[in-house]
A and B are shown apart, each in its own frame.
Chain A
């Protein structure tokens, strides 16, 4: 549905995106993950046909973005980084304007406005002026604007930016529910966001792809090991020893967070059941046992430091 081949975008002498290639299958939700300045917005702007690429080929919904921009524009909903709102318009009036802008047949406009107001929980503010809405509501109007003409391809630049935790969950739920029938690419710099919504992740850094994988694999594969957090009611010195003695455990580290002592256990394979059995056999209380996933920062440190050494190994081998 979306094909990006060797995309390069330069702003004058600065390269924002370099030789980027990836694909998004129909019905897939793809996350574009990267730190500030990685080139996420730039990539999405090229996909949406707002920026021309310096080099490379981009196809969306079967059409080349540069050769048949109109065909592409008819089929996409695009949420820019900053929701494109007119402060002096009402929510309803604005959605009507966008609906006509996207060439929705006039008869369908009122029905679609009602539908997206409902979908984005905007019913109670529909008569308010956009300039008077809170940031979270603006973001939601931005999303409603994307959905108004029910496009098959959605391009979302940080769709949950500025939302409160409950709204974040709602919007993620909404995005997830949209997947399947629609192809979605979204950008974010929050890893949990990706795990919660996306089937696949492209991680970019300084305009280049660092990794492409499913969120689950990404959090694990770089360490090549599973990491678990265990909290136990029991004598600390014995606990550490006992955990270390469980078959398969490679390392045990004390971790104190929020004043509560826990143990970070690392090792290849599935450690959970063996750890639980050990604790129960000793008659201690098992308070918590959960897998630790890496934060984005961790992954980045991993990816950016592991890459050169991995190449070095190859050269050596």
Chain B
């Protein structure tokens, strides 16, 4: 455990000192705030309109849960932002170790490859948790005006973290394939995009194939979670994604020595 913490701490230092963690953080928070504000304004206007209509035509106004709609909209956007930003956080992780020759130090030290991969993964996850955590201000802000279902909101945020974890694990794997950050970033973007839009391929297709493609989309599994509905199938999907990514990374680093 100490070994994992050692890797974790060093990786965080590198993420903030050398790699673009600050930039990613700033861009994410800026865009997240921008979209949150716009969704909020749009939904509030919509409510006024509905209220106005029901006053005109009589009858009780239909209940509109403003915070839920706003947060659901925000979480959907946040998931897409993270999908785009993830390769920037993971590209250097293992590729840089290979390029700088520090992999030679790590692999000749009494450190398990599993510990190395886990430490790296948890470091990226910590940065994401920080980013997502800061945007927890949004529901807190809404709570000062109206009632917020915090249990559902927490489920949504948890789902976002799970989704990011899956993407991060795959990003690490891509980073282990090359000693070039740029190649890792480009491959990472490709893979992320594929996972983000794969369900579109299923739209035209019929039957099992279409359903399979839909099931592979990282966003499809997020829809219920964003609403605060925890479906164990979705959670299992993301956990499997994390496990798959970490396992592939593990194998890739292990065989690195054979590939030279």
Contact = CB atoms under 8 A, between A and B. Distances in A.
A88 B102 contact: no
Interface in A100-117: 100-103, 106
B3 A86 contact: no
Contact of B105 (A84, A89, A93, A106): A84
B143 interface: no
Contact of A87 (B2, B10, B18): B18
A29 to B, nearest CB: 20
Given A50-B107, A98-B105, A102-B110, A85 B257 contact: no
A102 B107 CA distance: 11
A97 B10 CA distance: 7
Interface stretch (A71-79, A159-167, A224-232, A266-274): A71-79
Interface in A45-71: 45, 48-52, 70
B144 interface: no
Nearest to B260: A11
Given A51-B257, A86-B14, A88-B13, A101 B108 contact: no
Interface in A5-47: 11, 45
B109 A101 contact: yes
Nearest to A97: B10
Contacts of B101: 80-84
Interface residues of B, number: 24
A140 to B, nearest CB: 16
A197 interface: no
A74 B102 contact: no
B110 A80 contact: no
A93 B100 CA distance: 17
A73 B10 contact: no
A78 B260 contact: no
A297 B6 CA distance: 46
Contacts of A89: 10, 13-14, 17
A78 B104 CA distance: 9
Contacts of A73: 108-111
B146 to A, nearest CB: 45
Interface of A: 11, 45, 48-52, 70, 73-74, 76, 78, 80-89, 93, 97-98, 100-103, 106, 145
Given A100-B3, A103-B110, 14 more contacts: A49-B108, A70-B110, A73-B108, A73-B111, A76-B108, A80-B104, A82-B101, A84-B105, A86-B10, A88-B13, A89-B10, A98-B105, A101-B6, A101-B106
9 nearest interchain CB pairs? A84-B105, A88-B17, A88-B18, A82-B101, A100-B6, A84-B102, A48-B108, A80-B104, A73-B110
